[in-house]
Structure 1
Amino acid sequence: MNPSAQGIPGLPDLTHPQELIQFGTQALKGSLLIVFLVIALGIAIALISFSLRRHPTAQTVFFNEWAINYAQILKGLQHLALIIILLIPGFFLCSTLSNRYHHWEQARVAQVAETVAGDKLEQTAPQIRYVVKEPYSYTTTVKDKIVKVNDTQQVNRYLTLAGSQIQVKLNQDVDVKGRSSIYKVDYTAEYKVNNPLTDINSFFFEAPPPNGYSLLARYKVERDGTQLPQKNPGDYGFPFRLEPGAETTLKVTYQAQGGPRWVYNASGQLLSKFRLTTIADFSPVDFASGIAPNNKKTEKGSTAFTWIFDDNVSVKNPFGVFTNTEPVRNTGIIPRLLLLAPAVFIWWIILLYLSLPMSLKNVAIAAGIFFACILTLTYLGRLISPVLVWTMISLILLSLMWGLGGNRRASLAAILCTIAGSVIPVLGLLVPYSGLTLSLAGLLSAVWLAVRHWYSWQTVTTEH
């Protein structure tokens, strides 16, 4: 598999044991540092209080003030520690999901690419070859003298096909181990040949089988209903005689199996009175190489493409049909959202802290709900539109956040915080106009905080 499908380089992934151990070691060191700082602050307060033991009044005032401040610091540290405890595992969860989702998207892209690239059945247009003798001269040395010699050589020349009537029936087999699919081809072509030459009546009809086949069966060439014998094994040149001014019809039929595309290659020849009809008894299917057919008809589960070229048309690229697949669109959106989800969580939690009295229990529950919603979005987004999934999840999230308030006004504040800090930012990361949507979410957050603290919402209270 392509290395780009293995994940986002440098992104932490908790499914890798080495990174998991490294994360645990760093988290332990950080926790010990916080514990030492808290203990050091307590020891410092105790030493200052002990040094003021000879001044009871000053000691009492100092101890009471620092005791209150220390208690507030410890309370704030509890909330900070809880948010950090929730944020760090949340970040590693989101980074792991982002890595996995990126891997899944790249695997889908590789799977789709296999259906339109790689092996194919390519039928080359046959050629009518004849041999002529042409004079040429060269110099040689005879008895130390330079002598010019005139001689003749045989040169291959080719006739242009007077007409081509080709019909190809295609069936697809998808139950093939190690392959996306294979084509089963039933090929029938009639080629008209006329002899405009006056002194040549011996020709070779060179009609090779399709390139890339894995199985070729019932291959035969017929002239006016009579099968032409194959002179040499592996040689697909059939000699025949055609008198000057005469016309004949050569028919080629075979059945083949091969890659999941079928194309016809004109090999630089001018096509005259050319008609190619391909009938694909499966769907979805579309024309290949960007050369649009003159007619497309679909009925009873089969699609027929017809190319018609009347007079001296040169087609540079091979053209034909391939199994059409829905393009993989909007890749990278969910991985980007997952990487930014911890920032959205902090945004939302700050709005809640600035709007409502938050207890440790409620912070933990809110964080659990948020990351559960992100997890649900990640996996349901593989099945249906992520925007539709987030719309349904948002209704559940808002209904749960209503219970965060102890009264109607507090519940409404929780709803507004959730819309501005969670619902709209996540939606903004899913839609094309992310910058505009995030700007609206930021403006809504600022307006809400201004209204909450400067106008008639100062008395928002909750019961915990």
Structure 2
Amino acid sequence: MFFSTQGVPGLPDLTHPTELIQFGNHVLKASLLLVFLILALGVAIAVVSFAFRRHQQEEAIFLGEWAIRYSQLLQGLQHLTLVLVLLVVGFFLCSTLSNRYHYWEQTKVAQVVQSVAGDKLEQIAPQIRYVTKEPITYNTQVNGKIVRVSDTQQVNRFLPLAGSQVQVKLDQNTDVQGRSAVYKVDYGADYKFVNRLKDINSFFFEAPIPNGYSLLANYKVERDRTRLEPINPGNYSFSFQLQPGEETTFRVTYEARGGPRWVYSTAGQLLSNFRLTAIANFSSVDFASGIVPNEIKTDRRSTQFTWIFNDNVSVKNPFGVFTNTNPIRNTGIIPRLLLLAPAIFLWWILLLYLSLPMSLKNVAIAGSIFFACLLTLTYLSRFMNAELAWTMISLVLLTLSWGLGLTRSASLAAIVCTIAGAVLPVLGLLVPFSGLTLSVAGLLSAIWLAVRHWYGWYGLQIEDSRK
């Protein structure tokens, strides 16, 4: 079973050349529009200045006010432009990482599914077949008249086995190109049959070869230690004679390779005096199809599964063993976090602007650090727990955030803003209790802004006023 892995549909991915070119065109158009707006405002001020050229006093007052406002507007536009650039670039970076991470998760899930539900070695239980004649009545037309004819026809019938003792030894080879794992199977089974019919002594032992093998060797069927040859090559049907009331034993052995699962199928038969022992000489193995074994023995090198059915039992699904894999949990968390990362960044930057003086250089450095931390989290989470990885990264982020303040009070304010605006929101999207964690982060942000501006962070206010 194969699955095609792809990224999130409709999500921008800058690793695709066409989308990268489209992104560049949009950035160029937006930059030209911003330049034209600034030039238009400057031209408007120049036109007004020309209109007031005869009134020098009014012109000086008017131009002075507009010059101050224009200067403030340009300064604000610089900060706004920088934040928008960081948001746009960060969004495309995060969307690309989200797409790549989603693709990586899909590929990992597909590999696990292929190893569990992919190729398998399936051994079908043998059957005892005999041919008997049964009466049949049908109508036919003779000389224009309907005539009822009584005749006989040969019909295939099957008999259950009196006992089955199956032992299979499994070795696994994982170093195979293009395959998750390959089983090496050493199969040996003894089947007992008792002729309980009174007038039939000619039978056929149907012993099919396993399905799904890539290599089959030393396939052999013996009756009472005498090797049997098939009637026709390829159909694995062996004829034998057995008188009523007598019993005989068949032994089937072979070596096969395939997998990475081995199961035994009853093909709708009733199992009686049945015993199957599967010995897996490798770790991370479990029983398949939910048919719980009667015994499970485990040591350092192997695991033994034993199924025992003493009376007539019908097992619908094939049962056996497969290579167990660690479950993949918490998929989709990192892609969701990356898609919401620009909003978290805007939250953090606004807290910083409302808490301490921010220069263009500090904003650019802070944005670069934030998205670099997310990039590090994206790749570290592939090899370790995401919450632990973010805890380690948060310590680095908090240490670097201390440098945003020129004084101790300003640095403490930057630390509080970073905890409330960046560390807790990202952590809230990683842990199961996302709503609670995000609520705590929002409440902490509101409390901090209230304490900072309404009740006064006196030391910081005095130091800010001196600058």
- Would the TM-score normalized by the shorter structure come out above 0.5? yes
1:93 maps to which residue? Answer: 93
The one-character-per-residue Cα deviations of 1:314-339 (angstroms, maximum 9, x if unpaired) are: 11001111111112221111111111
Q: List runs of 5+ in structure 1 lacking aligned partners.
A: none
> Per-residue deviation at 1:453?
0.5
> Are residue 264 (structure 1) and residue 234 (structure 2) matched?
no
Moved more, 354-363 or 449-458: 449-458
Instruction: List per-residue Cα deviations over 1:16-61 (Å, max 9, x = no partner).
Output: 1221111111111111111111111122122223322333332222
Partner-residue secondary structure (3-state), 2:187:
strand
Distance in 1 between residues matched to 2:250 and 2:88, nearest whole Å: 75
What pairs up with 1:62-461 in 2 under 5 angstroms?
Answer: 62-457=62-457, 459-460=459-460, 461=463
Identity of aligned pairs, percent?
71
Note closer, same or farther for the CA distance 1:2–1:15 as it changes in structure 2 (3 Å cut): farther
Per-residue deviation, 1:293: 1.2
* 1:406 Cα deviation after fit: 2.1
Mapped contact 2:409–2:459 kept (Cα < 8 A): no
Quote the Cα distance in structure 1 between the aligned partners of 2:87 and 2:118.
45
Check whether the contact 2:162–2:192 (CA below 8 A) recurs between aligned residues: yes
- Secondary structure of the corresponding residue to residue 46 of structure 1: helix
Tell me the distance in 2 between the aligned counterparts of 1:20 and 1:200.
Answer: 79
CA distance in 1: counterparts of 2:245 and 2:413, whole angstroms: 94
Query: SS state of the match for residue 306, structure 1?
Result: strand
CA deviation profile, 1:269-292 (whole Å, cap 9, x unmatched): 111111111111112111111212
Amino acid at match of 2:128: I
Rounded to whole Å, the distance in 1 between the matches of 2:63 and 2:156 is 110
Cα distance in structure 2, aligned partners of 1:446 and 1:4: 46
SS at match of 2:10: coil
Is the contact between residue 136 and residue 152 of structure 1 (CA under 8 Å) also seen in structure 2?
A: yes
SS of corresponding position for 1:330: coil
* Partner SS for 2:5: helix
Aligned to 1:193, what secondary structure does the other structure show? strand
Q: Return closer, same or farther for 1:328/1:125 CA change in 2, 3 Å cut-off.
A: same
| CA deviation string 1:227-258 (max 9, x = no partner) | 22223211211111222112221111111112
How far apart in 1 are the matches of 2:256 and 2:7? 39
Are the equivalent residues in 1 in contact too, given 2:2–2:114 (CA < 8 A)?
no
Give deviations 1:59-113, integer Å, cap 9, x for gaps: 2221211111111111111111111222222211111111111111111111111
> Counterpart of 1:254 in structure 2: which amino acid?
Y
| RMSD of aligned Cα (Å) | 1.7
CA positional deviation for 1:2: 7.1
Tell me what 2:54 maps to.
54
CA shift for structure 1 position 203: 1.1
Distance 1:8 1:147 in 2: 72
Is the Cα contact below 8 Å between 1:5 and 1:102 reproduced in 2? no
Instruction: For 1:396 and 1:72, locate their aligned partners in 2 and report how far apart those are by CA, in whole Å.
Output: 35
Which letter does structure 2 place at the counterpart of 1:101?
Y
Cα distance in 2, alignment partners of residues 87 and 268 from structure 1: 63
Contact 2:123 2:211 in 1 (8 A): yes
Aligned AA for 1:452? R
CA shift, 1:459, in A, is 4.7
- 8 Å CA contact 2:3–2:110 kept in 1: the answer is no
CA distance in 2, matches of 1:152, 1:39: 104
Q: 1:226 to 1:3 in 2, by over 3 A?
A: closer
Cα distance between partner residues in 1 of 2:44 and 2:89: 33
Alignment partner of 1:186: what SS? strand
Q: Secondary structure at the match of 1:119?
A: coil
TM score, norm. by length of structure 2: 0.96
Indicate the larger mover: 65-74 or 221-230.
Answer: 221-230
Distance 1:22 1:214 in 2: 49
In structure 2, the CA distance between the partners of 1:183 and 1:4, relative to structure 1 (3 Å rule), is closer
Q: Which residue type is aligned with residue 364 of structure 2?
A: A
Q: Distance in 2 between matches of 1:2 and 1:434?
A: 34
- Aligned with 1:217: secondary structure? strand
Q: 3-state DSSP class of the match of 1:327?
A: coil
Counterpart Cα distance in 2 of 1:207 and 1:7 = 47
**In structure 2, C-alpha distance between the alignment counterparts of 1:18 and 1:138, rounded to whole Å:** 73
Displacement of 1:407 after TM fit? 2.2
1:72 aligned partner, one-letter code: Q
